[in-house]
Amino acid sequence: MENTYNPMELMITIAARNLEDGAMVVVGTGVPVAAAMLAQMTQSPNLTILFEAGGIAPLLPTMPISVGDSRTTHKGLKATSMAEIMELCQAGIVDYCFLGGAQIDKYGNLNSTLIGDNYEKPKTRFPGSGGANDLASLCWKTMVVTPQNKKRFANKVDFVTTPGFIEGGTSRVDAGLPANTGPYKVITDIGVYGYHPDSKAMMLLSLHPGKTIDDVKANAEFEVIIPDNYETTVEPSELELKLLREKVDPSGVIIGRG
């Protein structure tokens, strides 16, 4: 059957499906936490949610507005420090992290620090890494959810805040980052992307219904690898949409933006 949904609802649903039962994920506010909540309500009741400020395994009553507010420890298992959360990631127990950013390049490097070419006097200053660099360095798999356009999918990010595959190939491990970690998927309003196993360059995995390869190309400054066997994204089900609209984000704070 055909459902009507907006791009935000689609991205959250895809992100949720990528979090399997029993996994541990560090999330931020907005799309990531919505995806984790939806995953818990569908296929992954035993998904452990962590917040970088110190909240561990809350039973989230509503979406938090800060990754450190009281909601992030509501009926949780532990309230701890930021150091301990990052230490868990560094120790290797955390499967996923979810990130965004102003720009991403073809190796999944992210910029959330500044726009411009003068570090001392940037054109636009953004918050910086926050925990993003730590999480992307230390968790096993990094997922990025972002609307896609030519400005965001940049040939070269103005500042590598957060590591993806750096310059591709083995450069991430050569830089000293833990082996077998790195970018996993990028979920946009056009498609879902992974990374080529050798070159580590971004590669189309599935195209959303109604989108075309031309849309992919027109909305990326770099060349996205288009394999012969990409799939079509499965649309959100009636149940997923119902849970998302009625339980996860009833006031439409996030999905209203779609």
Partner 1 sequence: MSDKQLKKGIGELFTSPNADDMRAFLKDKSKQMKNKLSSVSEAIDQFVKDGDYLAIGGFGGVRIPTALIHEIIRKEIKNLGFAGHVSTHDCQLLSAGKSFNRCDAAYIVGLEARGLSKNSRRMFESGNVKVTEWTNGALSWRFKAAAMGLPYLPSRTMLGTDTFKRSAAIEVECPFTQQKMAALPALYPDVAMIHVHRADVHGNCQIDGILVADDDIAKASKRVIITTEKIISNEEIRREPSKTVIPYWCVDAVIEMPYGSYPGNMPGEYFSDEEHLADWLKAEKDEMQLEEFIGHHILSSKDFYEYLEKNGGMNKMRKLMQAEHLY
Cα dihedral 105/195/26/249 (nearest 10): 80
CA distance 191 to 187: 6
**Is the Cβ of residue 44 or residue 137 nearer to partner 1 in the bound state?**
137
Span 84-103, contacts to partner 1 by CB under 8 A: 86, 89-90
Report which DSSP code applies to 15: H
Under the criterion CB under 8 A, does residue 223 sit at the interface with partner 1? no
Catalytic residue among 52, 120, 167, 238: 52
Q: Other C-beta atoms within 10 Å of 3: how many?
A: 13
CA 203 to chain centre: 16
> Which two tokens mark 217?
């190309």
Under the criterion CB under 8 A, does residue 124 sit at the interface with partner 1? yes
User: Are the C-beta atoms of residues 191 and 206 closer than 8 Å to each other?
Assistant: yes
Angle of helix 7-17 relative to helix 31-41, nearest 10 degrees, comes to: 60
Under the criterion CB under 8 A, does residue 27 sit at the interface with partner 1? no
**Is the Cβ of residue 44 or residue 72 nearer to partner 1 in the bound state?**
72
Span 139-178, contacts to partner 1 by CB under 8 A: 159-163, 166, 170-178
Q: How far is the CB of 231 from partner 1 (least distance, A)?
A: 32
Q: Among residues 61, 209, 210, 227, which is the contact residue for partner 1, using CB under 8 A?
A: 61
User: Are the C-beta atoms of residues 154 and 221 closer than 8 Å to each other?
Assistant: yes
Under the criterion CB under 8 A, does residue 29 sit at the interface with partner 1? yes
Under the criterion CB under 8 A, does residue 121 sit at the interface with partner 1? yes
Instruction: Give the contact letters, 225-254, x = binds to partner 1 (CB under 8 A), - = no.
Output: ------------------------------
Active site residue 120: no
Q: Catalytic residue positions?
A: 52
